[in-house]
Amino acid sequence: MIRRASGEEADTLAALFRRAYGTLTFLPLLHTPEEDRAHIASVLAEREVWVFEDAGEIVGFAAFTDGLLTDLYVEPDRRRGGIGSALLEHAKSRRPTGSSSGCSRRTSLREASTRRAAAAWFASPTAPGTRNASRTRAYAWP
């Protein structure tokens, strides 16, 4: 089930963020868990955040601002199960024309090309509309 996140879930989302980010072994962990929590609390306050909940457990979340998907994280042991795709589809349904201001019809999701799980998703048939943009890939919808 996808639902709107609440401000009280900063600890849960920060822990999920840290577990997901921790799988990026080519990047160092630069922040403490407390700094992660402060960051996620600011994301909850400033952006539209939606969670994917399964059996009462949050297993993924997405955050976006006006026409830009800024965060998409899924529990590492739940990847490749459709959670990220469902959150992306939800973001698209919330902003079917991209920017709510009408200034842009493009919403993008960027990821480092070295992220194998994300790169595999972008290469899959469930990610129509992807395009290679040098060392990053972007997802856009009209």
pTM of the complete model: 0.69
pLDDT along the chain (142 residues), means of 10: 94 94 82 91 93 95 83 90 89 66 40 45 48 42 48
- Do residues 2 and 10 make contact, with C-beta atoms less than 8 angstroms apart? no
Q: What domains are defined for the chain?
A: 2-139 (3.40.630.30)
Give the per-residue pLDDT at 96. 60
Q: In this predicted structure, what is the pLDDT of residue 38? A: 94
Q: Which pLDDT score is estimated for 89? A: 87
8 Å CB contact between 83 and 77: no
Structure tokens at 61: 């979340």
Nearest to 118, CA basis, from 3, 24, 27: 24
pLDDT at position 114 = 35
Distance CA 75, CA 47 (A): 21
